[in-house]
Chain A
Amino acid sequence: MNPMTVPVPRLPVGDSFDASIEWLRTHLSGLFDVLGAVIGACVDALTTLLAQTSATQFTLLACAVIAAGLLRRGHLRPVGIAAAVWAVLYIAELAGGAATAVVGSMPAAVFSPAMSLYQAEYVYPPLLLALLLLAALVVLSFTYGRGTRQELLAALTCVALFAVTLAHFTLGVQLSLVVLPLFVLLAYVVVGWRVALFTVLGFLLIISMDKWDNAMSSLALILVATAVAIVVSLPLGILAAYSDRFSTVVRPVLDFMQTLPAFVYLLPAVAFFSIGAVPGVIATVVFAMPPGVRLTELGIRQVDKELVEAGEAFGAPDWAILRRIQLPLALSTIMAGVNQIIMLSLSMVVIAGMVGAGGLGNDVYRGIAQGNVPVGFEGGIAVVVLAIYLDRLTAAITRFSPAGRAAAAAR
């Protein structure tokens, strides 16, 4: 041994981390089980919605579009009543098969034309309820929305719904080609025709590479991870904006979370939630959350002090100042944070493939593990298409916010 070597004691950093995970796992397993079950259920439900959309879901989607139009025109009450009635009936159906009983008691002749159109063999009560809600909303559109473009919106939505269900369920066109126009339409409404055109080409590329189902399951994972990350990071960001002390404590923690190699998160995530989509979501949330916290804090701190003072000077309580002044004005910065969360989730989705999260990550990981360049590269390209689509969409959505409109007005 070199005589000048100074012995530095070995600190058991890794071992103690492992021990603490072990301790948490044994003492808080119930909590993690619940968490895992909820997240797993969300991912599954969303994946089914995106990759195996049912007729009921399509119908509810159409309802949502019409309802959004009505809400934008200020008809909160009728829409709320219709939605509440539907929710009550749906819960009654789930609980005791109420709708099934009603359907069973009615003469078959009422349903037979529609059933023969869709070559259906029985009446599915939830679909029937969704159709009733749709009918109610259309009627509302034609009474309350008279003379506005709401009528047109309702009519076009119904036509689109009919076309989609007819094409997919009757003619048997694959779901990806049926759903593609919906993604394109969303891009066109929110951003513009350029991004819509990109969506057509990009998503057709994904379909032609046979990556559609994987892309949808990755999208589901990203959306769930983003939702969880927002729910966690928004309150933290608000706290950090209000308290300098909390801000100084939380900042190095965020640095740590962001710079620790992303792979390392997979170890404890697997320890807590075993393999599958759930540890993927958890690791993604931890890795993607910091910009959400940072930009929420920044957004709130950036709001003009005089505006906050104006709120105080007129006697507004703190929460009202936060909700009506600070959050609306910080929204575009917060949305930039959400955009960053989504982008980081996308980069994490590939890594999460290592723990069997499925989706595009699986393809990429398989490509690396097997040295299969085509599979890996195609998976990567699909991630890029998804990333660009989501980035443009979230970047443009701020122009619908109050602050975005104010900025546009000032120009």
Chain B
Amino acid sequence: MPAVRAENLYKVFGRRAAEAVEALSDGRHRDEIADLGVTAAVIDASFEVEPGEIFVVMGLSGSGKSTLIRMLNGLLPPTSGTVEIDGTDITGLKKADLRKVRSEKVSMVFQHFALFPHRPVVENAAYALEVRGVAREERHAKAQEALELVGLQGWEDKLPGQLSGGMQQRVGLARALAADTEIILMDEAFSALDPLIRRDMQTQLLELQASLGKTIVFITHDLNEAMRLGDRICVLRDGRVAQIGTAQEILDHPANDYVATFTEDVDRTRVLTAASVMVPAAPCAAPTDGPEEVLRAMREQDRDFCFVLDADERLLGAVSADDAEAAQDGGADDIAEAVKPVEDTTAPTTLVADLFAAAARSERPLAVVDEEDRMLGVIPRTALLEGLAMEGSRS
């Protein structure tokens, strides 16, 4: 069961909203119905968010993303369509039941932090629990834990005004974490922070997510941020969903020109991973192979080295052409003695941006290995450049 499900969601502001929904569902653009005197913020949005994933909604200002996220916790009632949280349709709920859903299932982080300036940090973090009626001692203990998770221990008794922007948003995040809801909505949570702090916060969010596994709906106007955080990305345009997919799907197969122009500006090195640019490892040899055989393989591939793998494809090391020749001259039966360990290896999930330094250091292609040291492929410098060039070829 998806954690959040939106089906044919419409939000139209104005008196003749129902008429507008009808016209829009026939596929008319929102500018065409301007004569109705309505503003169509979200048009026919359908998507499912799976438990434990970060679902990023990305769009420019005016694309309806803030309206969309506010319908997911019922702050705005949809004009038409349904929103399901954990399988319950919240669009028809009574006010009290809706409040219960908000306090127990969905919490929110705001663009401008929305911290209560008159309450100390710990009472801000404990707010959701206070609303739920949790006793003071217990809610302070939980708030304290949440503050420690975001690295704010020691700041509990300060007022929000005494904290920097980045720290304030950590309190905002702690407030949502202390609520201990499965779903967290983040409305442009990092947009008001300066770029360096923003990167820190993204990193921290990814680290927290790795251990907590919340369902996060994250709104942003920054595609780089979307690509970095999102397990899946939903691109909104003029209130309609333009495309939903993983970062790579959107980069490689943009659904239309609009999405394509967006992706032009994306720093691909921060989206593509080692796994997506690596090529099959060659030449490879087993430690039991004879030197002549290995040297021939090198010549065929026009290389002066060879990776050495065991029977389970684990990377043992590499042999250089010089060492192989020395072994041949020394009359060795196999190359086992000549194998030297490979220093530069990388995991398949490493971002391409983080590969450049290693690639520059190493004479040979980088070996990509999994956690058990199994060889997955290699990244020659040319492959890195090709990965970048795909961006240029489209523009």
A interface residues, Cβ below 8 angstroms from B: 304, 306-307, 309-317, 320, 325, 328-329, 401-403, 405-407, 409-410
- A315 close to B159 (CB less than 8 A): no
Q: Contacts A313-B75, A313-B102 given: A306-B159 contact, CB under 8 Å?
A: no
Residues of chain B lying within 8 A (CB to CB) of residue A310:
108, 110, 114-116, 127
List 15 interface pairs A-B (beta carbons < 8 Å), by A numbering: A304-B112, A306-B114, A307-B116, A309-B110, A310-B115, A314-B103, A314-B107, A314-B175, A315-B100, A315-B102, A315-B103, A315-B104, A329-B117, A402-B119, A406-B160
Choose one: A313, A320, A410; the contact of B117 (CB below 8 Å).
A410
Rounded to whole angstroms, the CA-CA distance of A83 and B328 in the bound complex is 102
Residues of chain A lying within 8 A (CB to CB) of residue B128:
314-315
Q: Contacts A314-B107, A316-B131 given: A410-B114 contact, CB under 8 Å?
A: no
Q: Contacts A306-B110, A310-B108, A410-B159 given: A315-B99 contact, CB under 8 Å?
A: yes
Interface residues in B, total, Cβ within 8 A = 32
- Chain B 145-160 per-residue mask, 1 if CB under 8 angstroms from chain A, else 0: 0000000000000111
B229 sits at the interface (CB 8 A): no
- B114 close to A314 (CB less than 8 A): no
B277 sits at the interface (CB 8 A): no
Residues of chain A lying within 8 A (CB to CB) of residue B127:
310, 314
B73 sits at the interface (CB 8 A): yes
Residue from A311, A316, A317, A401 having most chain B Cβ neighbours under 10 A: A316
Rounded to whole angstroms, the CA-CA distance of A19 and B130 in the bound complex is 55
- A314 close to B119 (CB less than 8 A): no
- B99 close to A317 (CB less than 8 A): yes
Q: How far is the CB of B156 from chain A (nearest CB, A)?
A: 14
- B119 close to A309 (CB less than 8 A): no
Residues of chain A lying within 8 A (CB to CB) of residue B100:
315
Q: How far is the CB of A180 from chain B (nearest CB, A)?
A: 36
Residues of chain B lying within 8 A (CB to CB) of residue A405:
118, 159
Rounded to whole angstroms, the CA-CA distance of A317 and B96 in the bound complex is 8
Rounded to whole angstroms, the CA-CA distance of A309 and B102 in the bound complex is 12
Interface residues of B in 154-172 (CB under 8 A from A): 158-162
B179 sits at the interface (CB 8 A): yes
Q: How far is the CB of A304 from chain B (nearest CB, A)?
A: 7
Residues of chain B lying within 8 A (CB to CB) of residue A329:
116-118
Which single residue of chain B is at the shortest CB-CB distance from A401?
B118
Q: How far is the CB of B100 from chain A (nearest CB, A)?
A: 7
Residues of chain A lying within 8 A (CB to CB) of residue B118:
328-329, 401-403, 405-406
- Chain B 104-145 per-residue mask, 1 if CB under 8 angstroms from chain A, else 0: 101110111011111100000001100110000000000000
Q: Contacts A312-B75, A314-B102, A315-B102 given: A307-B131 contact, CB under 8 Å?
A: no
Known: A304-B114, A314-B131, A405-B159; 18 extra A-B contacts, CB below 8 A, are A306-B111, A306-B114, A307-B116, A309-B114, A310-B116, A312-B75, A312-B102, A313-B75, A313-B108, A314-B102, A315-B100, A315-B104, A315-B132, A316-B103, A317-B99, A401-B118, A407-B117, A410-B161
Residues of chain A lying within 8 A (CB to CB) of residue B104:
315
Which single residue of chain B is at the shortest CB-CB distance from A305?
B114
Rounded to whole angstroms, the CA-CA distance of A10 and B212 in the bound complex is 80
Which single residue of chain B is at the shortest CB-CB distance from A308?
B114
Choose one: A307, A316, A406; the contact of B159 (CB below 8 Å).
A406
- B117 close to A406 (CB less than 8 A): yes
Rounded to whole angstroms, the CA-CA distance of A306 and B66 in the bound complex is 12
Q: Contacts A309-B75, A313-B75, A403-B117 given: A409-B131 contact, CB under 8 Å?
A: no
- Chain B 60-71 per-residue mask, 1 if CB under 8 angstroms from chain A, else 0: 000000000000
Residue from A312, A313, A405, A407 having most chain B Cβ neighbours under 10 A: A313
Which single residue of chain A is at the shortest CB-CB distance from B105?
A315
Interface residues of B in 317-373 (CB under 8 A from A): none
Q: How far is the CB of A409 from chain B (nearest CB, A)?
A: 4
Residues of chain A lying within 8 A (CB to CB) of residue B161:
406-407, 409-410
Q: How far is the CB of B231 from chain A (nearest CB, A)?
A: 23
Rounded to whole angstroms, the CA-CA distance of A409 and B107 in the bound complex is 28
Q: How far is the CB of B133 from chain A (nearest CB, A)?
A: 10
Rounded to whole angstroms, the CA-CA distance of A376 and B161 in the bound complex is 51
Choose one: B107, B111, B159, B162; the contact of A313 (CB below 8 Å).
B107
Rounded to whole angstroms, the CA-CA distance of A197 and B175 in the bound complex is 47
Q: How far is the CB of A320 from chain B (nearest CB, A)?
A: 7
Which single residue of chain A is at the shortest CB-CB distance from B101?
A315
Q: How far is the CB of A411 from chain B (nearest CB, A)?
A: 8
Residues of chain B lying within 8 A (CB to CB) of residue A325:
116
Rounded to whole angstroms, the CA-CA distance of A356 and B154 in the bound complex is 62
Rounded to whole angstroms, the CA-CA distance of A320 and B103 in the bound complex is 14
Q: Contacts A406-B159, A409-B161 given: A320-B131 contact, CB under 8 Å?
A: yes
Rounded to whole angstroms, the CA-CA distance of A147 and B160 in the bound complex is 30
Q: Contacts A313-B73, A314-B108, A315-B131 given: A409-B159 contact, CB under 8 Å?
A: yes
Rounded to whole angstroms, the CA-CA distance of A139 and B100 in the bound complex is 46
Rounded to whole angstroms, the CA-CA distance of A311 and B160 in the bound complex is 16
Residues of chain A lying within 8 A (CB to CB) of residue B102:
312-315
